[in-house]
Amino acid sequence: MGRSPCCEKVGLKKGPWTPEDDQKLLAYIEEHGHGSWRSLPAKAGLQRCGKSCRLRWTNNLRPDIKRGKFSLQEEQTIIQLHALLGNRWSAIATHLSKRTDNEIKNYWNTHLKKRLTKMGIDPVTHKSKTDAFSFTDGQSKTAANLSHMAQWETARLEAEARLVRESKLKSISFGSSSAIPPAAPPLCLDVLKAWQGGLSKSTKGGFNPDLEFVDNPTSAVECEGGMVKEEGEEEWKVTNGIQDVIFTIESSWPLDSGKVETGQVEVSNFMDGFSDQLLSNADHQNESDKGGDSDNGREEVFSNEKNESYWNNILNLVKSSSSDSPVF
DNA sequence: AAGGACGTCAACCGCGGTCAG
DNA sequence: TCTGACCGCGGTTGACGTCCT
Angle at A165 between CA A34 and CA A6, to 5 degrees: 50
Residues with CB under 7 A from strand C: A 1, 3-4, 6, 15-16, 36-38, 50-51, 54, 87-91, 101-102, 105-106, 109, 161, 165, 169, 289-291
CA of A117 to C1' of C20 (A): 23
Nucleotide with the nearest C1' to A106 CA:
B9
Residues with CB under 7 A from strand B: A 3, 6, 13-17, 49, 51-52, 55-56, 59-60, 67, 102-103, 105-107, 109-111, 114
Name the more confident of A262 and A140. A140
Query: What confidence score (pLDDT) does residue A225 get?
Result: 33
CA of A4 to C1' of C2 (A): 18
Name the more confident of A267 and A175. A175
**DSSP bridge partners of A211:** A238
Residue A73 pLDDT more than 50?
Answer: yes
Query: What confidence score (pLDDT) does residue A184 get?
Result: 39
Percent of chain A with pLDDT over 90: 2
Residue A296 pLDDT more than 70?
Answer: no
| Alpha carbon separation from A114 to A75, A117, A121, A289 (Å, rounded) | 13, 5, 10, 11
CA of A289 to C1' of B7 (A): 11
Mean pLDDT of A273-282: 46
- In strand B, the nucleotides that come within 7 Å of a protein beta carbon are 7-16
Most confident option among A30-39, A127-136, A143-152, A236-245: A30-39
**Which amino acid belongs to residue A183?**
A
For each of the domains in chain A, give its residue range(s) and CATH number, in order of start. 19-61 (1.10.10), 72-260 (no CATH)
Mean pLDDT of A256-285: 37
Lowest mean pLDDT among A4-18, A100-114, A258-272: A258-272
Mean predicted lDDT score pLDDT of chain A: 58
Query: What confidence score (pLDDT) does residue A1 get?
Result: 35
Query: What confidence score (pLDDT) does residue A161 get?
Result: 55
Residue-wise pLDDT for A102-126, tens only, equals: 889 999 988 888 888 878 888 888 8
Name the more confident of A250 and A127. A127
Q: By three-state DSSP, how is residue A142 classified?
A: helix
Query: What confidence score (pLDDT) does residue A223 get?
Result: 35
Are A209 and A198 in contact, with CB atoms under 8 Å apart?
Answer: yes
Residue-wise pLDDT for A148-166, tens only, equals: 555 555 555 555 555 555 5
